[in-house]
Amino acid sequence: MRDNHYPGRSVVMSTRGMVATSQPMATTAGLEVLRRGGNAMDAAVAAGATLCVTEPQSTGIGGDCFMLYHDAATGRPYGLNGSGRSPAQASAAAIRERGHTQMPEYGILSVTVPGAVHAWHTALARFGSMSLREVLAPAIACAEEGYAVTEVVARGWKLNEAFLAGAPDTARALLADGRAPQAGTRHRQPRLARSLKRIAEGGPEVFYQGEIAEQIVHFSEANGGLLAVEDFAEHRSEWVEPIATDYRGLRVFELPPNAQGIVALMMLNVLADTGLDRMTHLGVDHVHALVEAFRLALAERDRFVCDPDFENIPVAELLSPDFAVRQRRRMDPKQALTHPLPSGLSGQRDTVYLTVVDEQRNAASFINSLYHPWGSGLVAGETGILLQNRGGGFVLEEGHFNRIAPRKRPMHTIIPALAYGGAQPVFSFGVMGGNYQPMGHAYVLSNWLDFGMNPQEAVDAPRFGHDDGALVVERGVSADTRRELGNRGHRVVESEKPLGGAQCIYIDWAQGVLQGASDPRKDGCALGY
């Protein structure tokens, strides 16, 4: 139990249903759906769509979506891959012909087909009890009537003011006289509201085979992009079999490639026999063990994780006990690895993660993203839709698993997670934050299981990770630990921004109680009833 003399949040508790998101209006949108008789899937889509309006730098209907869903009726988890593919005209040669020696991180060539809208429709069709029109209503109201800009969102908006001003349609949609809205102001997105209304009335066909697809393609062509109407018309979400490993008596589920969930599972396999629970939390041994496991797993990700339709990814081998033993032997408990080299991918981290558990104990672990803050930086004309830059996750290197090719899905950083005790889900969780996400998964889960923290304490604890060749730490990591890490060969750097943003819900089956947490590094909250 936390010491109330110190600032912090209590874990949120309820008995019937709970929603945890990074924005209060999204949390209340999801909770209202539950109160009206909707289930966890209905509430998750409602909350996710609302986040697409109220946290525009992180997510949008121009982005992608992944989810894990525990269906109480069948008693098992289901995975949905809602990531979009590259245009049919895309190739390494096509990118190089346009003067690029590496994949553009921003701009029209970084845009892949947005998968979120189709994913929402697909998820609701299988597990929802409400229509797309019903669950989009809160998002439409926020876009049309306005929403209060929160502090973290306002800060990110201001930091990217010049970037957003660089594209006329983006500036028109997201700036007022070239300025970002301040915290506490009311912001409206009327063009986005119209697009959401069209989707609510006409379904995903409007987005992928109708007027919206045509407008986005026209915008792409006018700006030198490669998207065609056929790329939208042929897009489909995919139900996938989740991958899993065991950790401290729980079965932890993640999504398979092209998502990077396998990185979290590889970490847990390595950490299972390192005695984390006997270490001092945030001491040098604890931080060193987690970071080294993370670096080893990232190296395998950058070798193998890509679209499985294009390459044979050795998932079973990477998750095998023998592989974990070999990886553990590569770790020196007293010295930082000089190899593998750190990831060459961008460390940008703006995404939204949310989780919902309903009265029947259906559980949704849901993540939606534009990739980098503000995605490609391009709003597609009158649609009001900010387009993702997920294509920036490809590489041009000959022979690389993740090399761009026609109609290919890039390696994806966004990952939801679910942990089971026997046949029942007990912990629905996720940590947004780009490359940091698998590290965040392992850390939050370990805080809860190995160190006995409640969900909010597990989320609040100071974080650390690995980015751009350095061991990055939040301010809460002590000077003594930093110094000792340096003595072990780590280049320790204090992170300019907090690392990631988490939400989680613990299901206490014995008491019939839900315990929820939302990250103070973001603007959100967990609420239940």
Q: Which residues are catalytic?
A: 351
Residue type, 168: P
- The structure tokens 């790329």 sit at 231
Q: Bridge-partner residues for 418, per DSSP?
A: 253, 428
Outline where DSSP puts E strands in 144-242: 147-148, 186-187, 238-240
Phi and psi, residue 275, nearest 5°: 70, 40
Residue 494 CA to residue 349 CA, distance in Å, equals 16
Q: Give the N- to C-terminal CA distance of the chain in Å, as an integer.
A: 22
Residue type, 463: R
Residue 419 CA to residue 421 CA, distance in Å, equals 7
Q: Supply the DSSP symbol for 236.
A: -
Phi and psi, residue 250, nearest 5°: -110, 155
Q: Bridge-partner residues for 239, per DSSP?
A: 80
Phi and psi, residue 527, nearest 5°: -135, 145
Tokens of 105: 């991180």
Handedness of CA 501, 487, 282, 272 (dihedral sign): positive
Are the beta carbons of 116 and 383 closer than 8 angstroms?
A: no
Crossing angle, helix 40-54 and helix 24-35, to 10 degrees? 150
Residue 241 CA to residue 68 CA, distance in Å, equals 10
Residue 370 CA to residue 368 CA, distance in Å, equals 7
Tokens of 482: 């930093």
Residue 328 CA to residue 322 CA, distance in Å, equals 10
Are the beta carbons of 511 and 317 closer than 8 angstroms?
A: no
DSSP 3-state of 185: coil
